[in-house]
Amino acid sequence: AQTVTQSQPEMSVQEAETVTLSCTYDTSESNYYLFWYKQPPSRQMILVIRQEAYKQQNATENRFSVNFQKAAKSFSLKISDSQLGDTAMYFCAFSSLNAGGTSYGKLTFGQGTILTVHP
Amino acid sequence: ETGVTQTPRHLVMGMTNKKSLKCEQHLGHNAMYWYKQSAKKPLELMFVYNFKEQTENNSVPSRFSPECPNSSHLFLHLHTLQPEDSALYLCASIHSAKGANTGELFFGEGSRLTVL
């Protein structure tokens, strides 16, 4: 079974600064997806960024980027130029792939990190 | 219409009540999920439905009974719940097809359940 660990229950950052959220995972599989999801207060969870394990290049989405270290089983999220709207709980998640190379959609989530962006 | 809609958003019930949570997705997806989100715990997968068929029951107590009448609708029937069942229940969907799956789950806003 896979496990996902987020060791930072809470983080805070000043607006316009950069913050990094940590995530480690454990799996014996060689191909999988990793995700960061964002859950704003009282709003639905949305995907921030996705990484395919077979790709060595780190994923980026505008101000969001990841540092994917496959050997170390580490998957951190960097948020640059933090904005007040980034205040949310962030979840790291793992997805196994089926024989066809697609996701079952059964994600294993970490405990979450509450990020607060201060003006 | 938002992608995944859950009703009610808030529900308070006694331990002897029977209630239902509803989820509807307008994305044309064919797989739907119930997750439980409790404070300070990772999200827990409860049930998985693919093409209306239940493909996974993650050791969920029988007081939770899912129903999936079609690929767009998912229900969670609740009966004789316990206070520890109080949580945010999230519905999610995905297009589960070979070669056409990014792995991205689309979530509803959740139903906040309080069991007294």
B64 at interface of A, judged by CB pairs closer than 8 A:
no
Query: Is the distance from CB of A19 to CB of A64 less than 8 angstroms?
Result: no
Q: What's the pLDDT at B1? A: 54
**Mean pLDDT score of chain A:** 93
B94 at interface of A, judged by CB pairs closer than 8 A:
yes
d(CA B111, CA B5): 10
Query: Which residues in A lie closer than 8 A to residue B45 (C-beta atoms)?
Result: 106-107
Of all residues in chain B, the one with the smallest CA distance to A89 is: B40
Winning range, highest mean pLDDT, from A93-102, B2-11, B49-58: B2-11
Query: Which residues in A lie closer than 8 A to residue B94 (C-beta atoms)?
Result: 103, 105
Residue B66, Cβ density class (10 Å: 0-12 exposed, 13-18 middle, ≥19 buried): buried
d(CA B115, CA B103): 33
Query: Is the distance from CB of B107 to CB of B88 less than 8 angstroms?
Result: no
pLDDT in tens, B9-67: 999 998 888 999 999 999 988 899 999 999 878 899 999 998 778 888 888 999 999 99
A33 closest CB neighbour out of B43, B100, B103: B103
